[in-house]
Amino acid sequence: MNHKVKTLLFKTIALLPNKIDDYCYHKIQSFFDKSTLENRVKSVESTYLRLSKVLKKLDIDLKNKIVFEIGSGWFPTMPYFFKYKFEAEKVITIDINKHFKKEIVLELNGIFSKNYDVAVIPELHNKYALPVDIDYFPNYNIINQDFPEVDFVFSRYVLSHMNEDDVDVLHKKMKTQLKKDSLIIHFISPSDLRQHGDNSLAQHDFLQYSKQEWAKIRTKFDYHNRLRLPQFIDIFKKYDYEILHLDYESLQDGTEKYHLFKKVKLHEDFLKYSDEELTAGNILVVLKV
């Protein structure tokens, strides 16, 4: 869908009363997303495999650990990988929205059991058909809640959807509330979501706008801050986290995506950063409290 049409659609939905707007958003997402659940599980598997390599490199073992996931998303694939492949003792997954549906989780249980040779058995009377030791808390804003006692905090493409100030508050809170030596892993995708499905738009088109201009364009359904890699790193250093690992991908000169990026007239707020810093994406960072 053209990004202008998508933005107009989201802005129209945002005018509807609460719950009705969420219902319409879910219906639109279901209509346009034609990928199968199995394909979507496969896409999350790449996160698991990448994470496995990094944890092995750092000699980090999640067996019998308590994992806290920020941003559950539409279904609990990463919690299943934590429970059945990393052998975590317990997984707590929270989300500011409520997306899980029992019928989808039941389908996921079958797919995960078959593809990864495990027995995913729903806990008796669990309203979402989740297995034992995976706890789901929707409508949960971690900025306003305390952290439980956990060993490991994980987020997958969540930080870029948070208010910039909340990203700072979150890391201040984790530094003060998590026990010493707790680990935090973030997967971060700081590109312009509007280009998903619209290849005519640069991945970093939103860097041309002032804060005021960007605030008029985005909606709660496609909210995206524009923090660049150095800004995330500044937040981590501000609260004295040890950065155990950092890797990312930047656009390469000579590619079509880089060509589109170079056509963007950057706002003055971003002129101090290099092309590598501006286009750094698919970021994986491991922090130690």
Domain parsing of the chain, residue ranges = 39-288
Provide Rg for the chain, Cα atoms: 19
**pLDDT at residue 256, rounded to an integer:** 92
Domain 39-288 matching CATH 3.40.50.150: the answer reads yes
Residue 36: other Cβ atoms inside 10 A: 11
Q: Rounded to an integer, what distance in angstroms lies between the CA atom of residue 90 and that of residue 105?
A: 18
The answer to whether the CB of 7 falls within 8 A of the CB of 215 is no
**pLDDT at residue 195, rounded to an integer:** 77
Does the predicted TM-score (pTM) go above 0.75? yes
Sequence-ordered strand ranges (E) for the chain: 66-70, 90-94, 134-137, 152-156, 183-188, 242-249, 281-288
CA atoms within 13 A on the CB side of 204: 28
**pLDDT at residue 197, rounded to an integer:** 67
Regions in the chain scoring below 50 on pLDDT? none
Strands 281-288 and 183-188: antiparallel
